[in-house]
Amino acid sequence: MQLLNWLAQHATIINPLWLFTLISMAVLYVVCNLLPDRIVGNFLPLHNVFKPRTNIDLDYQSIGYAMLHTKWINRFTHYSIGFDVILWFVIFESWHWSVPFIVLALILVQSLLIGDIKFGLCFVLMSAVTFAGALGIIHFAGMQDAALLAKVVLMADGLMRMVGHSAEFMPPLLLDDTDRFVKLTPENINYKIPLAAAIGYVAEFGSGLPTRLFPVQVNFVYQRVFRGTPRKGLSWSDVEASAKKALTGGYYQLETLGNYYNSVTKSE
């Protein structure tokens, strides 16, 4: 294919960009887990979703997703998450045949920790389907070309999702010190916005990982498409109602978000 040939010709540019982005994502995970909330939270909204304990809180993750993705253009850009998971499995397979199985084992553990058996089964099965899709791409394109294509699309999708967020009201602490969402205008833009955009790109790149936003979207599909009823946690209608409360009234409308806001704004 012409596209694959073109990508191969530009591999000397693509691979360093990929390595830089991958390292940046790893650094972001470390920073979100080790630095105080009052530092990271002023530049990356809801940065605690990158912490293992919060990552298994499906209600918190789902409310945050519904709250930060209200505009159609932003929701549309995030429909790429499922395909990104397939491409991450292509990357994992290119590292070593055992890596995808390690990731699937982590997904199984994440499902067990979330604690809803039916949702967990759906999550594990859909993850296995994405792995099968990755094997199909590798079979069609070959390992080297498939991995190169995956790198380009994953980086482009992260950028697309970051840009999609510009349509939303800005989350608390980016434009002022309140717990309210604020519309971005030329008059209130500040130094945090370009920094948040750069960090946001790395965060959105990492959001395509199988254990990040994918379980939230599986939760939506499980409830809205398959009509599954959560045995533990909120229904999607309750998720959307909680997100709307925080959007219109601020973080303090929900205890979990209020606690997060306090962790960022209160000095230790």
Q: How many other C-beta atoms can be found within 10 angstroms of the C-beta atom of residue 185?
A: 9
Of residues 45, 41, 39, 31, the one with CA closest to residue 184 = 45
Is the pLDDT assigned to residue 268 strictly greater than 60? no
Give me the pLDDT at residue 267, please: 55
Give me the pLDDT at residue 266, please: 84
How distant is the alpha carbon of residue 71 from its chain centre? Answer: 17
Q: Which letter does DSSP use for residue 225 in this model? A: I
Give me the pLDDT at residue 255, please: 95
Cα–Cα distance between 104 and 106 in angstroms, integer? 5
User: Between residues 68 and 268, which one has the greater pLDDT?
Assistant: 68
What average pLDDT does range 68-97 have in this prediction? 96
Cα–Cα distance between 249 and 179 in angstroms, integer? 8
pLDDT tens track for 118-157:
899 999 999 999 999 999 999 999 999 999 999 999 999 9
Is the pLDDT assigned to residue 264 strictly greater than 70? yes
Cβ atoms of 44 and 200 within 8 Å: the answer is yes
pLDDT tens track for 147-180:
999 999 999 999 999 999 999 999 999 999 999 9
pLDDT tens track for 7-47:
888 999 999 999 999 999 999 999 999 999 999 999 999 99
Cα–Cα distance between 162 and 77 in angstroms, integer? 9
Of residues 10, 52, 45, the one with CA closest to residue 30 = 52
Residue 72 token pair: 């159609």
Cβ density class 2-28: b for 16+ within 10 Å, e for less: eeeeebeeeeeebeeebeebbebbeeb
Give me the pLDDT at residue 116, please: 84
Residue 231 token pair: 């045995």
Give me the pLDDT at residue 225, please: 82
Is the pLDDT assigned to residue 1 strictly greater than 90? no
